[in-house]
Structure 1
Amino acid sequence: SKTFAPGLRIGVIVAHEQIIKKMEILKQSLDLCSSSLNQLIAAEFLRSGHFEKHIALVKKVYKTKKDTMLAALEKYMPEGVTWTRPEGGLFLWVKLPESMSADDMFEDAIRENVAYVIGSAFHCDGSGKNTMRLNFSYATPADIDEGIKRLATAVKKRLVLK
């Protein structure tokens, strides 16, 4: 659903019938069932042939935003901060120096009017405390640049305290 309309919370699968049945049960256990209207909208969009054109546009838009975020990280982040360079998806991961905690720095980032998802939330073993997940799907390129600049300010302030 991320490629079409994230709010619809639906997807499409082509698989063996037994796999589809198991996935239906899993989906129903998560949210009972998807809206019939949402399913009809998605089915018509796929049937109409507009999906391929939409995907081409979305890929171009997300690539521009991803490239903007990567350039801003390169431009503003201090030495010792690293990040992924994703080939797909809507997120990238930032890794702070081992001595820093993205959990502890979160309030600093909020004071700079920027937010991220704390990386430790994605680890069940307590690791990832120095990581954060950044999303580039919604913001404009200008907002992405400004947001990374603000995030870098929070990182630099925290580094000075170390």
Structure 2
Amino acid sequence: MNKKKAIFLDRDGILNRNRDDYVKDISELEIFPNIENFIKKLQASGFLIIVVSNQSAINRGLTTHSNVDEIHASIQAYLNKFGANIDNFYYCPHTPAENCTCRKPKPGLLIKAIDDFSIDPLSSWMVGDRDSDVDAGESVGCKTIKIQENSCDFENILKTILS
């Protein structure tokens, strides 16, 4: 079977503005400008686009699975207007104290996506704004890029990945 290549993206701070008090519902969602062009260029180069995100606000009682699903649907609807899309959203609802296998820096979310989509991690990238994103990507064999939170540094990311 042909293995696919993917770009794994953290959500908050990469696709949308991160908030110190978490993005808890769509009223707090601020999608970065030009994210659609970034994603379209990656898709045109044959990459799947997979979001892998820690969403501990759920188990902290600050938001719900339903709210997170609504946020993801809103991001998808925005991207769809421009002919771009996320192939899937994976998220971990657990707090650090729960010591699960899916919360980054552990690789559970990436492993699930790799299995679900038959992804070759050695041909794939993890893009995030925290060491935990880089650690998760490296643990499955992905190349990694760490950017400054909320920087919208899409052109430099594209240059690195597509060069």
TM tier, shorter chain? under 0.3
Bigger relative contact order, structure 1 or 2 (CA pairs below 8 A, ≥6 apart): 2
Whichever structure has more helix as a proportion of its residues is 1
Whichever structure has more strand as a proportion of its residues is 2
Q: Could you say which structure has the larger radius of gyration? A: 1
